[in-house]
Structures are given as C-alpha cells and as structure tokens.
Amino acid sequence: MSTKIDIERFARHIVLREIGGPGQQALGRARVAIVGAGGLGAPASLYLTAAGVGQITLIDPDMVSLDNLQRQILFRTDDVGKFKAGTGAVALRALNPGTQVIAIPAALDASNARELLAGADLVLDGCDNFETRFAVNAASRALGIPLVSGAIGRWDGQVSLFNSGPEAPCYRCWVPEIPPDAETCARVGVVGALTGVIGSIMALEAIKHICSAGETLDGRILLFDGLTMESRTAKLKRDPDCPGCGGGQASGPGRQ
C-alpha cells in the first residue's frame, strides 16, 4: 500500500469497512498454500492473487490435459502438456506482479505434507482424492494452520474452514474414513461452472479469515446444490473419537 498503483489496484477493497487499509495490508502479508491447481484451485488462486495476497504456493503434480479446460480456467489450450503448477504460476504473476507465486510440481502425501505446507498462514485444499485430503488435514492440524476445504461432484459442492484452533473440528471430524462409495469427477462428472462457484467461495472464506471480516465457516459446512440453486449450512463440532484429532476411531461425521 505504499505506492499509488497499489491504492488504485485495490481501491474497491480499501473502501470496504470490513477490509480497508489494514485488511489490505494483512492480505499483502499473507502466505497461502493451495493444494491442487485444478477446478477449485484455479478460481481460488485467481481471486486471491487479484485480492493482493502476498505469497501463494501452488502445489500440483499434474500436467494440463484437454479435458481440464472445461472447468480449470487458469489454463489455455496452448498449455496442454505443461505442468499445472508452473503454468498457473505464470498466469497468476501476469494478473498481479505484486504477488509472489511459488510453483511446486509435486504430489503432496503423508510423507511430505508438513514440509510443503510449513510457513503458510492458511491452506486451501482443492484436491480430488481422500488420501490427499487426509494428508493435508493432518499436516494443517500439526502445524497449527487453518484449512479451507472444498469439494465438488456432479452439481453439488461443499466448503468449510477446519483446524482454526485447538478445539476446532478437523476435516476427519466430518469425514472420518474414506467412504466405500467415494466418487471422483472423472467417474461421475462435474459441471464446469460449479467449480467456479465453490472455488470462489473458498477464496472468499480465505479473504474473510485473513481480514477478520464477517463470520467464516469455522464450525459449519456450506452445502450447495447447483441444480436447485439451494444452499444450507450444517453445524460441525470436534469429535472426541475422531481418527484425525481425537482419541481413536470416529463413529460419525461430527454433525450436531
């Protein structure tokens, strides 16, 4: 916020009472790690870069494929065959040169999650498999980093904020074990615009958390139905038997 161009770029934030100059400065200091540069990570990373987040780390091992372009708006046809992390970083730097973008073209798993997420102030998880979600959740909780988690499939999506404090629910309070009928977008499909809706909500939650604005989804989960355009929130609480943050095998998804 020290130059005229910064003031001009972020003018619409600065006039907001809930953000203003202090909030914009907080965004500029924030370090956000985004796991997955696909359908959810693409819009989330674009909006957080445009918002002036100081550092974004994109973690994704995959290359752009033609079938990604139906929903992954960070990429273009000429990007097919290139690594998502590096290609996405180029696009984000072009959008806002003031954001430092770090590209990590590697798969996050239980063995390296803490190393890859260390130093972040906030993690966004937009991956598409439960093994990675569990690894992100465990590292987030161990490192004391709040986690914005999103998921989509067909016409439905969900978003929540986990691990916001020692007594807050973690992702496995909601999903204790991998569901036996777990679905992937590759198998059941997903409407492209839905990823934009849910990814944008993830970015909005991140901005609110960083700026201490409004009421976040901490302790709640937002469930969105794109076919009916209806949404609802369900309360979440920490499960004392959660396999992620409690004492053992969870008996249920931690809903009130």
Which residues form the catalytic set?
185
Tell me the C-alpha distance between 246 and 93, whole Å. Answer: 40
Q: Distance between CA atoms of 59 and 84, rounded to whole angstroms?
A: 9
Residues 6+ apart with CB under 8 A from 1: 7, 10, 21, 24, 25, 28
What the block records as the tokens of 12 is 């619409």
> Residue 252 is inside which H or E element, if any?
none
- Cβ contacts of 21 within 8 Å, gap of 6 or more: 1, 14
Least Cα distance to 79 among 126, 129, 42, 119 occurs for 42
- Whether residue 100 contacts residue 56, with contact meaning beta carbons closer than 8 Å, is answered with yes
CA distance 99 to 49: 6
d(CA 76, CA 94): 14
d(CA 201, CA 195): 10
Specify the length of the chain in residues: 256
